[in-house]
């Protein structure tokens, strides 16, 4: 096979600014995205190469936003690049050997031929809809559902996390309410003068709502900007059940009960409206449904929310007044909202807070997409590849379409929980071919109840993966694996905030090549040409050209210019609702059906959801499931981000592993005492869905009655073969998270509100951990029933916390 290396060859025509010689090394200035996994912040690196090998990586002080600052994952890049366990050649294995470490290196031609043979057979016998492309979070190839739509020609692209509990809910809700991609805080990333730019204003208040960007830099937000802004006077409010590092420096911590964010946001609206603290002019001119919203939130006075959220009512008054009186103020919207089954409503209420206080699209407030400058156009180009050409009958076959039209219609992806049902039951039709791209879902990452996914995937006729490492998922379930290049091995761009918001665009300049690993887009093209040539022949020949087309339409610069300059800031304009830049037709107002921000959502109404925000109890809490709480009294949050790991990635890299060698669960000292658990003890955590083991970290940052468990754990140093699969079942916290507990729109899951009990693990427990993980504790079968699901039960008394 001929690689399209011309497009990714080093170029020396551009000169010093992006590449120069120093100390006998060639230094390349570049930005990163993924792999190693990260969201598209595009931090700046200087990569020192000698004799074709990376010898050193440093932060690039010339990068206008990150200014030389880097997290540990980038500082350990060299160890990632040359780690002996990385996959840098295609590999194959007989289907009968799934779970056995019997991989054989093969050529690209052979790997593609195997995939094509299976593709053709399945297409012929069952149709393309019986194929699914699964993807995890935020990588370069995560371009809409291109893998499914354009490479396989199937409608079923799937992000397999129950209730699409990340980003998708946020984007979908905002598209409907505001007519834009979700509004990130304005941290001056797009302004050439940065924080000192005359167009910018430092926010007086920043609310970090279920978000801790300092560790997560999520979705294109450079986390350290929070510190920069605090140094320039911004004050922090954290809405978080735990006191985090930034929380210890905040002026207010609202330590609400997990999953009650909608009640809190509604009560803050209640205060702001009843005390007349809102921006009347903005509301009158630009909001739709204010009266109805005011009526609705009148039902949620702070005293009532205080009972639901288990926080003092005064804190709610204080948070509301501080936020509404600050000019400007911003809210950083975290994944805790997406992960809540009530998150659509919490999100709706948070958008209403941003809007009625006049903070939408103002300097230092929230930034919105400039549709006329083409950000929207670029996003549209990216999201829609392959979809417009698809036959209507195939689009109609998308899994979960009838039940969840808002989810499947907006995201053009199959609904995650129904996708698992289809794999398990063969209904509405059987699945015969899966592509596991960028997800390690049987590790506690992109799935709830991973054992169910494991069993279901192992029955599929053919599975292949595209990854940078061998993982438990690939080892357990796949037949072919194709190797992907890392950030330092490719030439492409990183559009911050997924190209959605006006910010900056960074270049990934190729530094080295490892084995036969290819950049993700190149891989799409190779596969696409083999499997679905009509969609690829006579089209863009590479990622560069793909982005060239999108960027030419979107921006006033092209790909080459980005590569030369390494980073281009977009320049930002504000209050675009007054200038017609929020709508593709250039009319004033917002890009919604009413032209205004829809505090009352006609679309929610059309799909059978309440058009206004409302509160309901999460599916497994002491309030919604009091019987369950008798045996499982603790509320478990999971997945608060660790700086050294990206979900399940990084455990092989010594420098990163040293920072956090074992899976940890945080316990309050009182709970630890009650159970005779000491710092570092292995803790047995269980509920009717499963059992797993993590080590105790005893800390007062978490309230009594709650625990916070890490996700993502497996042990790459342990036995690879099934059933052990690198110890993936031992600390698999997602085993305890039940499926299908989403809200009406199909979003959310109890990742941060599950009931459990804990005890000190016995020696026998630890010996039997694999068996428990696979079969349930003490041989009791895992409970997969829906007995505890009562979202609509009106008799629930939220005051019972």
Ligand X SMILES: Nc1nc2c(c(=O)[nH]1)N[C@H]1C(S)=C(S)[C@@H](COP(=O)(O)OP(=O)(O)OC[C@H]3O[C@@H](n4cnc5c(=O)[nH]c(N)nc54)[C@H](O)[C@@H]3O)O[C@H]1N2
Asked if 654 and 705 touch (Cβ cutoff 8 Å), the reply is no
If contact means CB under 5 to 8 A according to the sort of partner, which of Mo ion, ligand X, none does residue 180 touch?
A: none
Beta bridge partners of 469: 86
Of positions 166, 297, 422, 597, contacts ligand X by CB under 6 A: 166
733 counts as binding ligand X under rule CB under 6 A: yes
115 counts as binding Mo ion under rule CB under 5 A: no
Q: What is the C-alpha to C-alpha distance for residues 142 and 498, in angstroms, rounded to an integer? A: 10
Closest CB to Mo ion: residue number: 166
Of positions 366, 445, 591, 592, contacts ligand X by CB under 6 A: 445
Instruction: Using the rule CB under 5 A, give the single segment among 70-78, 158-166, 563-571, 715-723 that binds Mo ion.
Output: 158-166
Q: Which of 347, 379, 374 is nearest to 582 (CA)?
A: 374
Q: Which of 775, 628, 801 is nearest to 703 (CA)?
A: 801
Q: How many residues bind Mo ion (CB under 5 A)?
A: 2
CB of 167 to Mo ion, least distance (A): 6
Asked if 414 and 399 touch (Cβ cutoff 8 Å), the reply is yes
Which residues from 482-541 bind Mo ion, rule CB under 5 A?
none
Q: Order of strands, edge to edge, in the sheet holding 492-495?
A: 492-495, 504-508, 567-569
Q: Which of 499, 232, 219 is nearest to 364 (CA)?
A: 232
CB of 575 to ligand X, least distance (A): 27
439 counts as binding ligand X under rule CB under 6 A: yes
Taking the least distance from each CB to ligand X, the nearer of 66 and 336 is 336
What's the maximum distance between 2 C-alpha atoms anywhere in the chain?
73
152 counts as binding ligand X under rule CB under 6 A: no
Instruction: Using the rule CB under 6 A, give the single segment among 169-177, 306-314, 637-645, 677-685 that binds ligand X.
Output: 637-645
Tokens 């890049």 sit on residue:
77
Asked if 366 and 332 touch (Cβ cutoff 8 Å), the reply is no
Whether the CA torsion 228, 233, 239, 245 is positive or negative: it is positive
Q: Which of 756, 719, 704 is nearest to 310 (CA)?
A: 704
Instruction: Using the rule CB under 6 A, give the single segment among 271-279, 439-447, 678-686, 717-725 that binds ligand X.
Output: 439-447
136 counts as binding ligand X under rule CB under 6 A: yes
If contact means CB under 5 to 8 A according to the sort of partner, which of ligand X, Mo ion, none does residue 336 touch?
A: ligand X
Helices (H) and strands (E) in the chain, counts: 29, 28
Q: Of all helices (H) and strands (E), which one includes residue 595?
A: none
If contact means CB under 5 to 8 A according to the sort of partner, which of ligand X, Mo ion, none does residue 570 touch?
A: none
Q: What is the C-alpha to C-alpha distance for residues 522 and 503, in angstroms, rounded to an integer? A: 26
Which residues from 10-29 bind ligand X, rule CB under 6 A?
none
CB of 137 to Mo ion, least distance (A): 4
**E runs forming strands in 648-713:** 664-667, 682-687, 690-698, 706-709
166 counts as binding Mo ion under rule CB under 5 A: yes
Query: DSSP readout, 181-221?
Result: S--EE--STT-TTGGG-TT----SEEEEES--HHHH-GGG-
Taking the least distance from each CB to Mo ion, the nearer of 335 and 527 is 335
Q: How many residues bind ligand X (CB under 6 A)?
A: 67
Instruction: Using the rule CB under 6 A, give the single segment among 40-48, 135-143, 188-196, 347-355 that binds ligand X.
Output: 135-143
Instruction: Using the rule CB under 6 A, give the single segment among 172-180, 426-434, 437-445, 499-507 that binds ligand X.
Output: 437-445
CB of 107 to Mo ion, least distance (A): 35
592 counts as binding Mo ion under rule CB under 5 A: no
CB of 437 to ligand X, least distance (A): 5
Taking the least distance from each CB to ligand X, the nearer of 564 and 784 is 784
Q: Of all helices (H) and strands (E), which one includes residue 77?
A: helix 77-81
C-beta neighbour count of 125 within 10 angstroms:
10
142 counts as binding Mo ion under rule CB under 5 A: no
Taking the least distance from each CB to ligand X, the nearer of 400 and 639 is 639
Q: What is the C-alpha to C-alpha distance for residues 183 and 207, in angstroms, rounded to an integer? A: 13
Q: What is the C-alpha to C-alpha distance for residues 223 and 244, in angstroms, rounded to an integer? A: 14
Q: Distance of CA 798 to CAs 269, 362, 714, 788, Å?
A: 19, 37, 37, 16
420 counts as binding ligand X under rule CB under 6 A: no
513 counts as binding ligand X under rule CB under 6 A: no
Asked if 509 and 29 touch (Cβ cutoff 8 Å), the reply is yes
Asked if 258 and 241 touch (Cβ cutoff 8 Å), the reply is yes
646 counts as binding ligand X under rule CB under 6 A: yes
If contact means CB under 5 to 8 A according to the sort of partner, which of Mo ion, ligand X, none does residue 205 touch?
A: none
Q: Distance of CA 575 to CAs 98, 280, 377, 555, 586, Å?
A: 56, 16, 19, 19, 14
Query: DSSP readout, 778-789?
Result: GGPPP----TT-
Of positions 28, 30, 137, 710, contacts Mo ion by CB under 5 A: 137
Q: Of all helices (H) and strands (E), which one includes residue 467?
A: strand 462-467
| 3-state DSSP assignment of residue 542 | coil
334 counts as binding ligand X under rule CB under 6 A: yes
Instruction: Using the rule CB under 6 A, give the single segment among 94-102, 136-144, 387-395, 787-795 that binds ligand X.
Output: 136-144
Taking the least distance from each CB to ligand X, the nearer of 383 and 438 is 438
Give 84's contacts (C-beta < 8 A, 6+ positions apart). Answer: none
Q: Kindly state the tokens that stand for 474.
A: 């690939």
240 counts as binding ligand X under rule CB under 6 A: yes
Of positions 253, 315, 563, 638, contacts ligand X by CB under 6 A: 638
If contact means CB under 5 to 8 A according to the sort of partner, which of ligand X, Mo ion, none does residue 520 touch?
A: ligand X
8 counts as binding ligand X under rule CB under 6 A: no
Q: What is the C-alpha to C-alpha distance for residues 42 and 288, in angstroms, rounded to an integer? A: 37
Q: Of all helices (H) and strands (E), which one includes residue 20?
A: strand 19-22
CB of 215 to ligand X, least distance (A): 5
CB of 46 to ligand X, least distance (A): 22
CB of 346 to ligand X, least distance (A): 8
Taking the least distance from each CB to ligand X, the nearer of 156 and 439 is 439
Of positions 172, 255, 336, 598, contacts ligand X by CB under 6 A: 336
620 counts as binding ligand X under rule CB under 6 A: no
Binding site for ligand X (CB under 6 A): 34-35, 37, 39, 136-141, 161, 166, 209-213, 215-218, 239-242, 244, 258-259, 261, 334-336, 340, 437-441, 443-446, 466-469, 471, 484, 520, 637-643, 645-649, 711-712, 733-734, 751-752
Residues near Mo ion (CB under 5 A): 137, 166
């Amino acid at each position: 096979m001929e690689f399209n290396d011309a497009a990714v060859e080093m170029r020396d025509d551009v000169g010093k600014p992006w590449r120069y010689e120093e100390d006998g090394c060639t230094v390349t200035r570049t930005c990163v995205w993924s792999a190693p996994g990260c969201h598209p912040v595009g931090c700046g690196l200087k990569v020192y190469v000698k004799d074709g090998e990376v010898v050193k990586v440093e932060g690039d002080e010339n990068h206008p936003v990150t200014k030389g600052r880097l997290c540990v994952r980038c500082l350990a890049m060299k160890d990632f690049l040359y780690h002996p366990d990385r996959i840098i050649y295609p590999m194959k294995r007989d289907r009968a050997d799934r779970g056995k470490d019997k991989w054989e290196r093969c050529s690209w031609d052979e790997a593609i031929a195997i995939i094509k043979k299976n593709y053709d057979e399945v297409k012929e016998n069952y149709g393309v809809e019986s194929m699914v492309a699964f993807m995890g979070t935020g990588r370069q190839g995560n371009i809409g559902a291109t893998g499914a739509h354009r490479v396989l020609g199937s409608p079923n692209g799937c992000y397999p996390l129950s209730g699409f509990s990340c980003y998708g809910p946020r984007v979908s809700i905002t598209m409907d309410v505001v007519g834009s991609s979700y509004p990130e805080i304005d941290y001056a990333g797009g302004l050439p003068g940065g924080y000192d730019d005359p167009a910018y204003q430092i926010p007086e208040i920043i609310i970090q709502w279920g978000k801790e960007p300092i560790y997560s830099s999520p979705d294109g937000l450079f986390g350290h900007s929070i510190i920069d802004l605090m140094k320039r006077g911004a004050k922090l409010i954290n809405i978080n059940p735990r006191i985090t590092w930034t929380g210890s420096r905040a002026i207010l911590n609202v330590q609400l009960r997990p999953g009650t964010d909608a009640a809190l946001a509604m009560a803050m609206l209640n205060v702001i409206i009843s005390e007349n603290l809102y921006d009347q002019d903005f509301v009158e001119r630009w909001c739709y449904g204010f009266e109805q919203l005011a009526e609705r939130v009148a039902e949620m006075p702070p005293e009532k929310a205080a009972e639901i959220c288990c926080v003092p009512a005064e804190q709610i008054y204080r948070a509301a007044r501080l936020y509404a009186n600050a000019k400007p103020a911003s809210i950083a919207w975290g994944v805790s909202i997406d992960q809540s089954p009530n998150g659509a409503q919490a999100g709706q209420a948070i958008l209403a807070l941003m809007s009625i206080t006049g903070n939408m699209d103002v300097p230092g407030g929230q930034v919105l997409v400039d549709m006329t400058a083409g950000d929207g156009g670029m996003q549209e180009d990216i999201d829609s590849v392959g979809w417009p050409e698809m036959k209507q009958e195939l689009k109609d076959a998308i899994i979960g379409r009838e039940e969840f039209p808002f989810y499947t219609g907006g995201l053009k992806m199959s609904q995650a929980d129904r996708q698992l049902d289809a794999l398990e039951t063969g209904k509405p039709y059987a699945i015969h071919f899966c592509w596991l791209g960028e997800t390690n879902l049987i590790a506690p990452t992109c799935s709830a109840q991973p054992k169910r996914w494991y069993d279901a995937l192992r029955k599929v006729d053919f599975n292949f993966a595209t990854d940078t490492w061998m993982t438990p998922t690939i080892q357990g379930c796949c037949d072919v694996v194709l190797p992907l290049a890392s950030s330092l091995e490719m030439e492409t761009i990183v559009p911050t905030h997924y190209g959605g918001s006006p910010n900056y665009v960074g270049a990934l300049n190729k530094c080295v090549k490892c084995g036969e690993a290819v950049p993700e887009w190149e891989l799409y093209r190779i596969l696409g040409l083999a499997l679905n040539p009509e969609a690829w022949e006579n089209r863009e020949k590479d990622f560069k050209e793909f982005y060239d087309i999108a960027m030419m339409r979107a921006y006033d610069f092209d790909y080459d210019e980005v590569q030369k300059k390494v980073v281009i800031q977009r320049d930002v304009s504000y209050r675009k609702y007054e200038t017609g830049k929020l709508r593709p037709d250039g009319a004033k107002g917002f890009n919604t059906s009413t032209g205004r921000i829809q505090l009352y959502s006609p679309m929610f109404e059309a799909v059978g959801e309440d058009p206004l925000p409302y509160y309901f109890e999460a599916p497994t809490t002491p309030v919604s499931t009091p019987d369950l709480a008798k045996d499982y009294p603790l509320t478990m949050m999971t997945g608060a981000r660790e700086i050294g790991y990206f979900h399940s990635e990084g455990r092989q890299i010594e420098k990163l592993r040293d920072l956090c060698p074992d899976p940890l669960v945080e316990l309050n000292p009182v709970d630890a005492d009650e159970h005779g658990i000491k710092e570092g003890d292995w803790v047995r955590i269980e509920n009717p869905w499963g059992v797993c083991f993590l080590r105790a970290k005893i800390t007062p940052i978490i309230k009594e009655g709650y625990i916070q468990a890490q996700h993502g754990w497996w042990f790459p140093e342990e036995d690879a073969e099934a059933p052990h699969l690198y110890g993936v079942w031992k600390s698999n916290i997602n085993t305890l998270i039940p499926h299908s507990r989403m809200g009406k729109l199909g979003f959310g899951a109890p990742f941060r509100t599950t009931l459990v009990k804990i005890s000190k693990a016995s020696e026998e427990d630890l010996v039997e951990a694999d068996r428990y993980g696979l079969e349930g504790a003490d041989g009791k079968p895992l409970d997969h029933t829906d007995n505890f699901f009562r979202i609509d039960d009106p008799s629930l008394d939220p005051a019972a916390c």
